[in-house]
């Protein structure tokens, strides 16, 4: 059978007999002896219109029972549509109703606007809505574009582990992984739970980032990336944070921070251009119904040259802005999202790569700058969203890495293999992480990160 997108795009000649299969969005019955059924199958934003004549033998018994959400297989003739806005429709010669909807009045996905909050309570059915269907196509377009971009530039995709002993970001936001019977946990002499036995006799966690592992591969394969789930046990209930999210993490050898920033800029432009080129139907919906500036903002990213700015400069701009921020800024403090958004939205009006942050607010692996105070870190801040990418040049000098590990009180023995990379043929290298769902938020204009991942995991949200 044909996908609705192929039929509406004219890939099949008019007057051909076709079969389409999908779910009913709406059904309207005319007194003139036929019904109009809008059928969707996920392949594109628009449903296709089916004209079902009353002469069909199951018209009264089945077709008139097929309400919103019912599934069917339709055979009929593809004809040019008389109605406005539709290219083709199907004049049905046979309809097999595959599944009716139990108690149509209580079916949660009615053909009317629903709030995103409500749709989260029916996450198993929300893919049937216009909005979540469009999000799904855009997120898939982004994922394919990421792999294509990496492939064209000869990066290798490395599958890094989800279960790990090392805390990449050193922020203590890891979920424990345990194989032990939680009711009979081993205890230490001090009477505390002995987590060292957790994972078949070792301590283990869910990874917060694939970076440390991908650094091993960059030290042999030169250009690599990882793209997979990551986990953060941070109890932050915001529209930008999840406990489980996907991250794209490219890593490049023989590259400094400026080359890293170039790669980040090129990648964002490439993937957002793919959405503009391939998902015009979904973008038209988002632009009309969700965020009137989404297309303009995407075009802005694709066509503008990103601003580059040092942290120190940004602090001065914020201090001289005359704005009352909730959190005051001084050199050495981490920027809050109100500051990031001021810089990207009000001050510059396009994406900014903010670089060279104070060492004390960044992770142990970032390369120390010659000033002894800052590290070669970068965050990409996008108007309308704030931080979308975090990355750095990595510390490739063993002695300086060791003193950073000590300074931060991290367990050096856990990083023995990471340190080995600096002992055996070390090279300058850099990389970054793009929060995948943040990219989907940006590309759709959706307001809450829980609506751009199929099954959100956040504080207090683990159903489905
Ligand atoms: O800035 P982060 O913590 O950087 C890293 O994890 C580095 N190891 C990446 C690297 O250099 N390879 O996270 C990277 C990005 C952020 O910029 C943000 O877009 C996203 O991941 N992110 C989250 N997205 C959703 N929910 C959360 N809780 C997130 N935390 C970070
Ligand atoms: Mg960050």
pTM beyond cutoff 0.90: yes
Rounded-to-integer distance, Cα 369 and Cα 377, Å: 10
210 lines ligand 1 (CB under 6 A): no
User: For the chain, how long is the longest CA-to-CA vector?
Assistant: 85
Name the packing angle between helices 257-278 and 294-303 (round to 10°). 140
171 CA from centroid of ligand 2 (Å): 11
Strand partners, 136: none
Q: Are 190 and 214 in contact (CB under 8 A)?
A: no
Helix count and strand count (H, E) for the chain: 12, 15
Q: Are 61 and 109 in contact (CB under 8 A)?
A: no
247 lines ligand 1 (CB under 6 A): yes
Give the pLDDT score at 199: 86
Q: Are 329 and 358 in contact (CB under 8 A)?
A: no
The protein residue with its alpha carbon nearest to ligand 1, atom 6, reads: 209
Give the pLDDT score at 194: 86
Give the pLDDT score at 89: 96
SS3 24: strand
What's the average pLDDT block by block, 10 residues per block, for the chain (464 residues)? 96 96 97 96 97 97 98 97 85 98 96 95 97 98 98 98 91 88 85 85 93 98 98 90 97 98 98 98 97 96 96 97 93 94 92 97 97 97 93 98 94 93 98 98 97 94 87
The protein residue with its alpha carbon nearest to ligand 1, atom 23, reads: 435
The protein residue with its alpha carbon nearest to ligand 1, atom 4, reads: 390
DSSP 87: S
390 CA from centroid of ligand 2 (Å): 5
Strand partners, 223: 252
438 lines ligand 1 (CB under 6 A): yes
**Nearest ligand (C-alpha, residue 249):** 1
The protein residue with its alpha carbon nearest to ligand 1, atom 17, reads: 389
Rounded-to-integer distance, Cα 31 and Cα 387, Å: 56
Pocket test for ligand 1, best of 168, 228, 234, 247 (most atoms within 8 A of CB): 247
Give the pLDDT score at 197: 81
Q: Are 265 and 353 in contact (CB under 8 A)?
A: yes
């Amino acid at each position: 059978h044909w996908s609705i997108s192929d039929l509406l795009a004219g890939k099949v000649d008019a007057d051909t007999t076709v079969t389409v299969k999908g779910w009913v969005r709406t059904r309207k019955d005319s007194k003139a002896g036929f019904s109009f059924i809008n059928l969707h199958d996920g392949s594109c934003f628009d449903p296709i219109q089916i004209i079902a004549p009353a002469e069909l033998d199951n018209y009264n018994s089945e077709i008139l029972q097929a309400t919103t959400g019912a599934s069917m297989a339709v055979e009929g003739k593809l004809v040019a549509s008389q109605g406005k806005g539709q290219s083709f429709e199907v004049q049905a010669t046979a309809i097999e109703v595959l599944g009716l909807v139990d108690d149509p009045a209580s079916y949660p996905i009615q053909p009317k606007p629903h709030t995103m909050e409500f749709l989260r309570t029916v996450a198993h059915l929300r893919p049937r809505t216009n909005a979540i269907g469009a999000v799904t196509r855009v997120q898939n377009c982004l994922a394919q574009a990421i792999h294509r971009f990496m492939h064209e530039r000869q990066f290798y995709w490395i599958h890094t582990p989800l279960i790990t002993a090392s805390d990449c970001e050193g922020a203590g936001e890891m979920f424990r992984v345990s194989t032990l019977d939680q009711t009979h946990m081993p205890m230490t002499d001090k009477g505390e739970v002995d987590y060292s036995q957790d994972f078949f006799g070792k301590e283990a966690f869910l990874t917060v980032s694939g970076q440390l592992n991908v650094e091993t591969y960059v030290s042999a394969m030169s250009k690599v990336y990882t793209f997979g789930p990551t986990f953060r046990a941070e109890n932050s209930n915001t529209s930008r944070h999840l406990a489980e999210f996907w991250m794209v993490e490219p890593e490049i050898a023989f590259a400094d921070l400026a080359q890293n920033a170039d790669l980040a800029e090129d990648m964002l432009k490439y993937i957002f251009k793919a959405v503009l080129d391939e998902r015009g139907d979904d973008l038209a919906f988002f632009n009309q119904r969700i965020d009137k500036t989404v297309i303009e903002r995407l075009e802005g990213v694709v066509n503008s040259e990103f601003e580059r700015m040092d942290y120190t400069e940004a602090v001065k701009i914020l201090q001289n802005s005359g704005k009352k921020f909730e959190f005051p800024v001084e050199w050495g403090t981490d920027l809050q999202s109100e500051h990031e958004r001021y810089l990207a939205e009000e001050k510059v009006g396009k994406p900014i790569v903010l670089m060279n942050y104070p060492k004390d607010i960044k992770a142990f692996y970032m390369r120390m700058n010659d000033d002894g105070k800052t590290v070669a870190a970068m965050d990409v801040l996008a108007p309308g969203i704030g931080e979308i990418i975090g990355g750095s040049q990595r510390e490739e000098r063993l002695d300086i890495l060791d003193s950073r590990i000590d300074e931060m009180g991290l367990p050096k023995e856990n990083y023995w293999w990471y340190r080995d990379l600096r002992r055996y043929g070390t090279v300058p290298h850099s990389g970054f992480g793009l929060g995948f769902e943040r990219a989907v938020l940006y590309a759709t204009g959706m307001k809450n990160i829980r609506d751009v991942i199929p099954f959100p995991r956040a504080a207090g949200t683990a159903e489905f």
